[in-house]
Amino acid sequence: LRRNPGEPEFHQAVHEVLQSLAPVLRLRPEYAEAKLVERLVEPERQVIFRVPWTDDRGEVHVNRGFRVEFNSALGPYKGGLRFVPGLGLGTVKFLAFEQIFKNALTGLGIGGGKGGADFDPKGKSDAEVMRFCQSFMTELHRHLGEHTDVPAGDIGVGTREIGYLFGQYRRLTNRHEAGVLTGKGIGWGGSQARTEATGYGTVHFVSEMLATRGQNLDGRRVVLSGSGNVSLFAIEKAQALGARVIACSDSSGYVVDEDGLDLELLKEVKLERRQRLTAYADARPGAAFSTTGSVYDVPCEIALPCATQNELEEQHAVTLVKNGVQAVAEGANMPCTPDAVGVLQEAGVLYGPGKAANAGGVATSALEMRQNASRESWTFEETETRLATVMSSIHADCVTAAGEFGEPDDYVLGANAAGFFRVAEAMHAQGLV
């Protein structure tokens, strides 16, 4: 704590991992001697830089950029860029730390990193976003490379931003190095199914969890938070598997639609018109928009928090349990507070932590890197099949790892132990670096 003051989210993420590693570390006394945990919690490198840019009126703005290159024992640093106002180092470090274990779980040879800036793309013109991205990449490019560090999108960074970032990287380096960024457009090196991958993968993970109890998603009431990239495609896959998705949210409130959300309308409102959820409720008879309480007050059997960190708090978990929730899987990174996780696990709810449940996005990014390296383009079906295989294997690895400690239902223990072993063995084998 003293070494990393003012970084509560990073402390929270490290605490969660170390708590479940105590029994794991007893099996490997040699790791203590090699100070493996002490090395694991210290980033290999972190870069903080100035990002000056001008708005459409010619006014100068100065933002702060970050890239935390946390661990490359398994492969090049891999993890998204987040553009949100107020972003700080502690948030980027928490995300990069989580990414180490998530990426290890995919088994696809990628290390952990994360980055971003305290820049708000909302309300900015395309030209402003382009100038910001160009300035951001002008510094960041010297730290990147397909074998070094490969960023992707995250909150506030979609295909538009990746396009501007990639264009500037190409101009600065005079190289068409497609594998340096993932989340690219389909026509210029992007992978089919990358946009859908995180949401689809999360629903695939829930299906696997339910199957351990002989259940599935057909006819189940599902509620999720957010209405961005992860949420929209989680809704799409859940509906395809027969679930009734009845509520979702954005930062202005939540909408309840007992007939089941109209995904086409929701996509139009969110992706095309870039409007708030009220616009959905206005256009859809029977749907109600609310700003009181929380989306988790809506009774459901499956809850998928897909918005942001620490949004599902203890009282929300208590309500979910009271209303009979059976499974909660994190589409977002660390959306449940530690107290909420405690309530869910205590009640015997199947709980899938983000580092396992939302790993489908980064797994498909790694598949995009493979396609770039071999100059191939796989079909949507082929990519989705590979994604499903990766998610099933992550699920199986979690159950096996947790089962070795007598807790096969404990996906937190399973994900942390399985991810840790892969990274720790590589670090140990590679010596004191």
Among positions 112, 115, 331, 414, the unique one binding ligand NDP when judged by CB under 6 A: 331
Give me the amino acid identity at 149. Answer: D
Applying CB under 6 A, does 113 fall inside the site for ligand NDP?
no
Applying CB under 6 A, does 226 fall inside the site for ligand NDP?
yes
Applying CB under 6 A, does 230 fall inside the site for ligand NDP?
yes
CA proximity to 82, closest of 118, 51, 110: 118
Cα 240 → chain centroid: 22
Among positions 229, 326, 337, 345, the unique one binding ligand NDP when judged by CB under 6 A: 229
Q: Which of residues 356-385 bind ligand NDP (CB under 6 A)?
A: 358, 361
**Distance between CA atoms of residues 375 and 191, nearest Å:** 11
- Residue 263 Cβ vs ligand NDP, minimum distance, rounded to whole Å: 14
- Residue 154 Cβ vs ligand NDP, minimum distance, rounded to whole Å: 5
Residue nearest to ligand NDP (CB): 228
**Beta-sheet pairing, 288-290 with 302-304:** unpaired
Give me the amino acid identity at 116. Answer: G
User: Which residues lie closer than 8 Å to 214 by C-beta, 6 or more apart?
Assistant: none
Q: Given the rule CB under 6 A, which of 141-149, 213-221, 226-234, 396-404 is the region that contacts ligand NDP? A: 226-234
Q: What is the largest CA-CA distance in the chain?
A: 64
Q: Which of residues 6-65 bind ligand NDP (CB under 6 A)?
A: none
- What b/e readout covers 39-57, taking b as 16+ CB neighbours within 10 angstroms? bbbebbebbebebebeeee
CA distances for 104 relative to 76, 393, 421, 430, angstroms: 12, 12, 9, 16
Q: Given the rule CB under 6 A, which of 71-79, 128-136, 165-173, 328-336 is the region that contacts ligand NDP? A: 328-336
Applying CB under 6 A, does 311 fall inside the site for ligand NDP?
yes
**What single-letter DSSP state applies at residue 331?**
S
- Residue 367 Cβ vs ligand NDP, minimum distance, rounded to whole Å: 13
The answer to whether residues 295 and 226 touch, using CB atoms and an 8 Å cutoff, is no
- Out of 78, 93, 114, 184, the active site residue is 114
**Closer of 39 and 124 to ligand NDP (Cβ):** 124
**Closer of 78 and 131 to ligand NDP (Cβ):** 78
Q: Is 78 a catalytic residue?
A: no
**Footprint on this chain of ligand NDP (rule: CB under 6 A):** 153-156, 198, 225-231, 249-252, 306-308, 311, 331-333, 358, 361
